[in-house]
Amino acid sequence: MALLEASPDITIEELRDSLSKQGLSFGYGTIRRFFERHKITRKKRPPMPQSKIVRMS
């Protein structure tokens, strides 16, 4: 949880890498299920720019 607070945009793979450097090894699915259980959401793609409303006539 401390890694997520320090770096909120971290991907699951980056999180796994950081945990492995601390001597902890978890599978991708294990971390994903942990997130689901604790209602932690991860965005899969970057946010899109807002669409512009343009007059047609």
Domain locations in the chain as residue ranges: 2-37
Cα separation, 1 vs 22, whole angstroms:
14
- Which pLDDT tens digit goes with each residue over 23-43? 999 999 999 999 999 988 876
Ramachandran assignment for 21, one of left (phi > 0), alpha (psi -120 to 50 degrees), beta (any other): alpha
**Global pTM?**
0.64
Cα separation, 43 vs 24, whole angstroms:
24
Written as six digits, the tokens of 36 are: 């689901």
- Which pLDDT tens digit goes with each residue over 11-23? 889 999 999 999 9
What is the pLDDT, as a whole number, of residue 32? 92
Our CA angle for 5, 25, 27, nearest 5°, is: 85
Cα separation, 53 vs 1, whole angstroms:
40
